[in-house]
A and B are shown apart, each in its own frame.
Chain A
Amino acid sequence: MRFIDEFRDGELARGLAAAIRQAARTDRDYAFMEFCGGHTHAIARYGVADLLPPSVHLIHGPGCPVCVLPIGRIDMAIRLAIDAGVTLCSYGDPMRVPASDGLSLIKAKATLGRGGRAGAAAGSATAGGEIRMLYSPADALALAQQHPERQVVFFAIGFETTTPPTALLIKQAQALDLRNFSVLCCHVLTPSAIASILESPEVRRWGTLALDGFIGPAHVSTIIGTRPYVFFAEEYRKPVVIAGFEPLDVMQAILMLIKQVNAGQALVENEFSRAVSRDGNRKAQQLVSEVFELRRSFAWRGLGELPYSALRIRREFADFDAERRFGVGYQPVEDHPACECGAVLRGVKRPQDCRIFGSVCTPENPVGSCMVSSEGACAAHYSFGRFVDAGDGAVTCAAPGLAVTP
């Protein structure tokens, strides 16, 4: 596959691995946080960690949109379907995140599927509430057009990458004068999360979380550009290298970060120059600022209440704001007491440090959000990397045609 395979080339990877080994000093360790779940997924899926010297440590960051969504937000989506009887449309990823009362969107979907018909027959007010999974937000708009008798709500989550499509959707709904379409807006902002990590006591006060630099977001940066990261490089003296989501991008970014650290630099560098510019996508930014405004505060899973860290729909588009239309408010809910998702999202703990990782909490029965999305640190480690914990790291693999000796 052209333009894909080039960024997954094993020989180039070996060359980069050699360069990293050569660049890494032997008298110190390096700890870099990959902010994005996309990077976490690529690192696990391609086994990038296997190619790094032991002195280079990768810390998973909070950049997984599903992971940072607090339980109370999922509850809002479920309540809209069950209590307000709307057709709630969601991306696939949030569907399995555990919510209150033993529910998740997928469990609520199953119950509604059964009760919906019975409810309709009984003429109850909640008749017809349903939950649908979709691939594209545009499908939600189409659904609203096809079913004028139903209230359709799009559960909008994600960082800056998914925000412009939601903005476009709201603009389109306005242009079409759709009265039965609205958005439950849970869009969050990357720079706030990075600032929260850097301001956390583990980094700032206690120094228990060593952090030498960031592998900066790929897709998010195509929208916001490289400028928002300059503050972190300058104010906190942490180098940031913006990198694509292919495994060679990640390796290259690690090499660039090591070189900066060795030289005592803290710059914003752009490894992903094939897609990211200094100013980002101005048109998308304008669209977003036209439709959304900053929330005064937003609760994140793991990071807590962060000021000005998320977006809400502007008053001019209030008709399309599901929170206003249906009067649903956010109710904070405590995470499961044994779940370490919060610490994992802050980079303070590794997935395997959680007591319930892989035993009580698995992708089939997730307790916390990080075990749900394929971009979540726990799911990535469980699905791709847990052989490392099993201590059979010595299994070497022979070329095809040769038996493997364990």
Chain B
Amino acid sequence: MNGVRKGYVRPLDLRHGAVDMTHGSGGRAMAQLIEELFAKHLGNDFLGQRNDGAVMPLPRGRLVMSTDGHVVSPLFFPGGDIGCLSVNGTINDVAVLGATPLYLAAGFILEEGLPLADLVRIVESMARAASEAGVPVVTGDTKVVQKGAGDGVYITTTGVGVVADGEDFSGDRARPGDQIIVSGSIGEHGMAIMAQRESLGFAAPIVSDTAALHGLIAAMRASGAAIRALRDPTRGGVATTLNEIAGQSGVGMMLQESALPVQAEVAAACEFLGLDPLYVANEGKLLAIVAAEDVDKLLAAMRAHPLGQRAAMIGSVHADAHHFVQMTTGFGGRRIVDWLTGEQLPRIC
């Protein structure tokens, strides 16, 4: 980020103003936007270096890096917005590899005409999420595209963290006999978005579960349980994530439908729209594959954390040359829980 000369004619009109092409031109208007909006809310020592990048100290260990683009529509939804989503999502991607997330970078693509008031809300929400997580946004970039070439705002965040030697959480480590745990009720983020888009009126609205999971993961690691793999079941939901792990590890899985935690409102909305909660995105849940003997230990540690209170064992891993994820239905039959085909819910994160 470039240095800013003082002496603007007028401060940004954050109440009634809108993003225009000059805000991405590299000129004074852009510098003003960065100064009065991004730097003001996200400010920290690294961002304050005002260089094109940031220089940070790195603790010992192996570097973990992950990047994620966020294009959710609508930008604001019950339980969150694109701002906190873009912070939490990337922190989670780093944390599920067993790493301690340290720094974030954020790239904004703004559409001409976006109300500055909306942008303020989004950046404030990002700042709050980053501050609560203790993971600062250390560098960023802003571009503006013409009206019609974007949809309000897209945010790409990149996160780095470090993982200690010897800690290897990976999707290829599931073994027959291992058990599958989910950290809480599923499908809330996707259905919160969908209920808003489809104007489904519920007495209690479905609220997105967006949350940074590195605290919960730290508690899980501290329990000493033999965790094989962690993953956050975002797009494609629990079904897709388990199929990925089953394929990576070369194993099969068997789920128990009756053990799946699903909120009544989510189940009802899914029923109404013909969706399956197993395929609906989560933004604050994780799946853990754990050695059978450590299940109780891990569940106890998870349930003691606010984000893992409804943690539940939902199935187990077995040998299967076809790598099928199957489920015993509540009805008593059996079926495959396949990869998601096509696009169930577009632009949910």
- Taking Cβ atoms with an 8 Å cutoff, the residues of A that contact B are 1, 4, 8-10, 13-14, 17, 44-51, 96, 135, 247-248, 363-364, 379, 382-387, 390, 392, 395, 397-406
Contact = CB atoms under 8 A, between A and B. Distances in A.
B161 to A, nearest CB: 33
Contacts of A1: 264, 267-268, 271
Nearest to B330: A10
Interface in B297-333: 313-320, 322, 324, 326, 328-333
B247 interface: no
A51 B332 contact: yes
Q: Which of A47, A51, A382 has the most CB of B within 10 A?
A: A47
Contacts of B320: 392, 395, 406
A-B pairs with the 7 shortest C-beta distances? A47-B333, A363-B341, A50-B333, A384-B335, A46-B331, A404-B318, A406-B318
Contact of A384 (B177, B273, B332, B338): B338
B334 interface: yes
B101 interface: no
Nearest to B346: A133
A398 B317 CA distance: 11
A364 B341 contact: yes
A395 B338 contact: no
Contacts of A46: 329, 331, 333, 335
B98 interface: no
Interface string B83-95: 0000000000000
B31 interface: no
Contacts of B198: 135
10 contacts: A1-B268, A13-B332, A50-B332, A247-B331, A363-B341, A379-B341, A387-B326, A390-B322, A397-B256, A397-B328
Interface of B: 176-177, 179, 198, 252, 254, 256, 258-259, 264, 267-268, 271, 273, 292, 295, 313-320, 322, 324, 326, 328-336, 338, 341-342
A15 to B, nearest CB: 11
A332 to B, nearest CB: 27
A10 B332 contact: yes
Q: Which of A9, A10, A14 has the most CB of B within 10 A?
A: A10
Contacts of A383: 336, 338, 341
Nearest to A4: B271
A45 B335 contact: yes
A400 B313 contact: yes
Contacts of B179: 403
B335 A44 contact: yes
A397 B259 CA distance: 13
Contact of A403 (B268, B292, B333): B292
A399 B316 CA distance: 10
A387 B322 contact: yes
Given A1-B267, A45-B329, 16 more contacts: A8-B331, A10-B258, A46-B329, A46-B331, A47-B331, A247-B331, A363-B338, A363-B341, A382-B338, A390-B324, A392-B320, A392-B324, A399-B256, A403-B179, A403-B316, A405-B318
Contacts of A13: 331-332
A153 B319 CA distance: 51
Contacts of B177: 403
Contact of A49 (B273, B322, B330, B333): B333
B329 to A, nearest CB: 5
A395 B259 CA distance: 19
B332 A395 contact: no
A102 B330 CA distance: 41
A44 B336 CA distance: 9
Q: Which of B179, B267, B342 has the most CB of A within 10 A?
A: B342
A160 B311 CA distance: 45
Contacts of B254: 395, 397, 404
A401 B313 contact: yes
A362 to B, nearest CB: 8
B331 A406 contact: no
A47 B338 contact: no
B326 A395 contact: yes
Contacts of A406: 176, 252, 318-320
A96 B176 CA distance: 37
A390 B315 CA distance: 21
Q: Which of B259, B324, B333 has the most CB of A within 10 A?
A: B333
A133 B198 CA distance: 14
Given A387-B326, A397-B328, A406-B320, A51 B333 contact: yes
Given A4-B271, A400-B313, A400-B314, A14 B322 contact: no
Contacts of B258: 10
Nearest to A362: B341
B335 A385 contact: yes
Given A45-B329, A384-B335, A392 B341 contact: no
A243 B341 CA distance: 28
Contacts of B271: 1, 4
Nearest to B256: A400
Given A384-B335, A397-B254, A406-B176, A8 B318 contact: no
Contacts of B313: 400-401
A248 B267 CA distance: 19
A248 B273 CA distance: 21
A384 B336 contact: yes
B316 A48 contact: no
A394 B139 CA distance: 55
A170 B330 CA distance: 42
A16 B152 CA distance: 54
Contacts of A51: 331-333
A75 to B, nearest CB: 21
Q: Which of A13, A248, A401 has the most CB of B within 10 A?
A: A401
Contacts of B326: 387, 395, 397
Nearest to A391: B322
Contacts of B338: 363, 382-384
Contact of A14 (B314, B318, B332): B332
A248 B332 CA distance: 11
Nearest to A389: B322
A405 to B, nearest CB: 7
